Structure 1
Amino acid sequence: MTEKERNDYFYVCALIEYIGRETRNHRGDIVRAIGIKGIEKLLRDAEVNHCLSFEQVSDEVISYYGIEQGDFDTLSGCKYSVPSYLDIGKLYSIMVEDCAEPGKEAEELMKIFSSFISDAISNFNSDLYYQNPDYLEWSYREGKLLD
């Protein structure tokens, strides 16, 4: 993966996290609403969208894909400092890079955001986000949190 591709995946992963927080949706619901073609378009447009605010791009994506408000609130009941959407986006982009077969990164992005690990990471009352990225990656690969 090139440095530009890394940046594009980081941007799109952070955008998905941002949209999830704004609309109170599971991140898997966001990627399913956008679909694989939409994810691929966001990746193609990422270099240009970097110049715009997350708020603007988020509003456009929410409107275009008809993403409605949900009830998956990961922020208001949080007792601890919440990692930024950029921190979470970086974590996801690392997982995509490490887990995806070359040429299948967009599909892997959708799988990761749709898996159990995404809701587990979104539980900011746990320490999962702070775990070693390798632990998160291998838990994802195994389909469960490892002991």
Structure 2
Amino acid sequence: MKRIYTHSDVLHCEVIDSVAEEFINMRSIKTGDFDNVAKCKYEVPDYWTIGEVYERLIEDVQPNENVDSIIETLFKVYNSWVSDSIGRFNTDFYYQNRDYIKECFLTNKQIA
């Protein structure tokens, strides 16, 4: 992850599928059966839109500009219940206000 983040200024110009495939092969990541798209009843947001939601959340909750801190925050966000909620495209969670998503993450609960 640190390598991806450190070289993001160059990698963002590459085709995302080829960059992803390269890192999947490099880390020997096995294919899983996760498929939140097949269950979606509505238009599925593209990965740029969802990536923006994650980017804003990581920026909003990470304590400082240190690369290691950013990577640690990234893992915390992606391993949280908030990430699961963002990935449920049949709900409205992923397009909520960024402050709302941040507060849900920080309080570890969905705010009514």
2:9 — aligned with what? Answer: 47
Counterpart pick for 2:80 among 110, 115, 120: 115
Q: How large is the Cα RMSD of the aligned pairs?
A: 1.0
Task: State the Cα distance separating 1:70 from its structure 2 match.
Answer: 1.3
Q: Which runs of 4+ in 1 moved over 2 A?
A: none
Per-residue displacement from partner, 1:30-71 (whole Å, max 9, x unpaired)?
A: xxxxxxxxx111011111212210111011011111111112
**Cα distance in 2, alignment partners of residues 126 and 69 from structure 1:** 26
Pick aligned residue for 2:39 from 74, 77, 83: 77
Structure with the larger helix share? 1
**For residues 63 and 85 of structure 2, what CA distance do their matches in structure 1 show?**
24
Partner residue in 2 for 1:20 = none
What TM-score, normalized to structure 1?
Answer: 0.71
Higher relative contact order (CA 8 A, sep 6+): 1
Q: For 1:145 and 1:52, how far apart are their aligned partners in 2?
A: 36
The residue number in structure 1 matching 2:22 is 60
For residues 78-134 of structure 1, give each alpha carbon's deviation from its aligned partner in whole angstroms, at most 9, with x where no partner exists. Answer: 100111110111111111111111122221111001101001110001111121111
Q: Which residue of 2 aligns with 1:125?
A: 90
Map of 1:29 onto structure 2: none
Pick the structure with greater CA Rg.
Answer: 2
Unaligned 5+ runs, structure 1: 1-38
Paired letter, 2:78: F
1:145 aligns with 2:110: yes
5+ residue gaps, structure 2: none
- How many Å separate the matches in 2 of 1:130 and 1:56? 27
Q: Percent identity?
A: 36
